[in-house]
Chain A
Amino acid sequence: MGKNNDNNHIKRQPNKLNTFIKDYILLIVIIILIIVFSSINPAFIFIENIFYIIKQASILGFIALGLCLIVIIGEFDISLAAIPNFVAVVTIVLIKYDVSNTYILWTLGILTAIILSMVNSIFVVHIGVPSFIVTLGTQFSLTALSRALTMGGQVVHPPFIPAGFSVLGQGFLFSVIPVAVVIFLVGAAIILGIVEYTPFGRKLYAVGSDPDACNHVGIKVKSTKMKAFFITGVLYGIAGILMSSMFNSCSAAMGTVYLFPGIISVFLGATFLSTGYSNIRGTIVSAFFLSALVNGFATIGMPFFLRSIIQGLILLGAIGYQKFGKGKYEISTKV
């Protein structure tokens, strides 16, 4: 009888290799992909291409980081693409109205994004409307407004490009490193530092996992959430001005390219390090991954429609792999 009891308490230790694979599956897949792509077309790992990938990833990266913050605090934001898009539209349209100081344009752009994100947060945090529905409303309204400002959704080119306007999106540091890459690496490092290594960051995670416990411990849920929305607004603003700077034009639909990859990045990032919850490192890695995928496909000449399929399959595969065998009716977050 004693022997039976002992056996009941011994759990089978998971295989160390299994754990390692589960934790780093994303990185492993990236490395495999890099090997595959560069063997088919060596141009893939030229340093210029690498920088190009990171430059393409910068807009997606800022948007995904913004969404990641919102997901960490337990909400959702489907206006992740509409706000940067609107910022880009506003920036370009302002040039038409003779605002030619680049710094003013950038500041107004980021300010617009902050205001929009705070509008979201007032509905979500103070009034208490579910965030999915609120951001659905703002997304739809902003898309309509973008279309209004761009006369029906055409691509709008400003009459002239103010001095220094395209530096952010198209400039190069030391003639080799795109400015956008530098901005993204710096921004990502700052966000990583804030969220993963400061008490404020821990509060963000705390608010997301258990607001009730936070109330009992003394963490102010409402103001923490509003601060998160504020930071997200800044990130969306940077993404927006990067967009307008990179393309020197705007349209009401330029944001749609980032809508689903942004969401996928955040949820794919949750599989990184097997955390099970969205985290900054995972989001950054996933954003790079998705951009590298797009670039790699173009480099090896794969047809464009496969991109969507592969993105979807990777998302399904990654989440499925983590979930397979775990409990099925877990209580999940309602946003």
Chain B
Amino acid sequence: MESNDGIKSNNSSPEESQAIRKKGIAKKIFINYGLLFVMIALFIVFSVMQPRFASLRNILNLLGQGSIIGILALGLTNIVICGEFDMSFASIATISSILSIQFVGVYHLPVLLSYIIILIIGLSIAVMNGINVVYVGMPSFIATLGMMGVLAGVSKWITKGSLLYVQLPKSFELIGRSKIGNIIPSTLVVFLIIAFFVVIFLELTFKGRHFYAVGCNFEAAKRVGISIPKIKFESFIIQGIIASCAGIVIASMFGVGNPEMGDSFLFPAIIATFLGAIFLREGICNVIGTIFAAILFAEIANGLSILGFQLWVKELAQGVILLVSVTLVTILKPGGIPGVKIG
């Protein structure tokens, strides 16, 4: 006799439901930790093909080179978690790097003072972005696109279109080019410090949860009492400070003020952020995912260059990995993944 009390009952046998549950878990692990598998697999492949790859020195070197993209991606992750977008972060980094070289090399200000001024400048740019998006109401993509154009032009203005190449004191190289204990790159240290703070803030504090809440369902967040404009504004501020830090590191690493520098970091950082969304949260942007995605990119770049491939192979690999992984997650996850607000 059928028990028909209106509740749908799954009439499969205990073995079948076990099997279904196992398949569900396997799928979940595949989606959520797939990036980790790819990273480990690539590591094995690269080490086999070129044993030099697996040396501690090379690993630390690789991480140090990828740190700039990692820092920028961390900043962007803040904003994407809140449900907005930011195209101007690379230009904030560019102008910070140019200004730091200008202050220290041309105006001969003390290094620490310059850094503080630059952080304040990055903060003010972020405040302008925040006002545009939150209080004027412009869609964040367009507002930050405009800001990016303005900053790019200002950067070219300061450097008069060419590179800024001046004598810099030795202390300037501390953040970008030195190695702690002769082996750990300073850029990696900066990246780890920033990552530490961002992870603690976003994952372990109430404010951080509010960021996620606003991004996932701002209607519900509003009703619970979270002040959405304040949260979004704060995310822009955090992003601005982090982007300025990245700019300082860039200047220290390269020693030259290059107004086109930001463009080469813009798309890799964006891709790293979205690739990171695949990891751990099935399509929702998260910090740990971004960190792993940035590390994966550094791994690909370093591995391919050690194996002697040209530059474009790395970029093709990054683009293809993004496409493949996002497609896989979209197919496997019921409901797909959230996109970017263009508005």
Query: Which A positions have Cβ atoms within 8 angstroms of B?
Result: 71, 76, 123, 127-134, 136-145, 147-148, 152, 256, 260, 263-264, 267, 303-313, 315-316, 319-320, 323-324, 326-330, 332-335
Whether the pair B229, A315 counts as a contact (CB closer than 8 A) is no
Q: Does B286 contact A (CB under 8 A)?
A: no
Q: Does B120 contact A (CB under 8 A)?
A: no
B116-154, CB < 8 A from A: 132, 134-139, 142-143, 145-154
Given the complex, which residues of B lie within 8 Å of A328, measured CB to CB? Answer: 134-135, 137, 229
Query: Which B positions have Cβ atoms within 8 angstroms of A?
Result: 132, 134-139, 142-143, 145-154, 156-157, 161, 218, 222, 228-229, 263, 267, 270-271, 274, 310-316, 318-320, 322-323, 326-327, 330-331, 336-343
Given the complex, which residues of A lie within 8 Å of B340, measured CB to CB? Answer: 76, 130, 132-133, 334-335
Report how far A304 CA is from B260 CA in the complex, Å.
Answer: 14
Instruction: Check A136/B342 contact, CB under 8 A, given A128-B336, A129-B336, A260-B149.
Output: no
Whether the pair A136, B327 counts as a contact (CB closer than 8 A) is no
Whether the pair B156, A137 counts as a contact (CB closer than 8 A) is no
Whether the pair B153, A315 counts as a contact (CB closer than 8 A) is no
Given the complex, which residues of B lie within 8 Å of A143, measured CB to CB? Answer: 315
Q: Which 7 A-B pairs have the closest CB atoms?
A: A332-B343, A312-B149, A130-B339, A308-B153, A309-B153, A141-B319, A140-B319
**Is chain A's interface secondary structure helix, strand, loop, or mixed overall?**
helix
Whether the pair B271, A137 counts as a contact (CB closer than 8 A) is yes
Whether the pair A264, B145 counts as a contact (CB closer than 8 A) is yes
User: In chain A, what residue has the closest Cβ to B318?
Assistant: A140
Report how far A144 CA is from B321 CA in the complex, Å.
Answer: 13
Given the complex, which residues of B lie within 8 Å of A256, measured CB to CB? Answer: 263
Q: Which listed residue (A148, A315, A320) contacts B312, Cβ 8 A? A: A148
Whether the pair B143, A308 counts as a contact (CB closer than 8 A) is no
Whether the pair B322, A308 counts as a contact (CB closer than 8 A) is no
Given the complex, which residues of A lie within 8 Å of B132, measured CB to CB? Answer: 316, 320
Instruction: Check A260/B145 contact, CB under 8 A, given A129-B330, A312-B150.
Output: yes
Report how far A129 CA is from B275 CA in the complex, Å.
Answer: 13
Whether the pair B137, A137 counts as a contact (CB closer than 8 A) is no
10 other contacts beyond A133-B274, A324-B136, with CB at 8 A cut-off?
A76-B340, A139-B319, A148-B313, A152-B310, A260-B148, A305-B153, A316-B143, A329-B218, A334-B339, A334-B342
Given the complex, which residues of A lie within 8 Å of B222, measured CB to CB? Answer: 329
Instruction: Check A147/B312 contact, CB under 8 A, given A134-B326, A332-B139.
Output: yes
Whether the pair B316, A145 counts as a contact (CB closer than 8 A) is yes
Whether the pair B267, A139 counts as a contact (CB closer than 8 A) is yes
Whether the pair B323, A134 counts as a contact (CB closer than 8 A) is yes
30 contacts between A and B (CB under 8 A): A127-B330, A128-B330, A130-B340, A131-B339, A132-B339, A133-B322, A133-B340, A136-B274, A137-B271, A139-B319, A140-B271, A145-B312, A148-B313, A260-B149, A264-B146, A305-B153, A305-B156, A305-B157, A309-B150, A309-B154, A312-B145, A312-B148, A315-B142, A315-B145, A316-B147, A323-B136, A323-B137, A329-B228, A330-B137, A333-B341
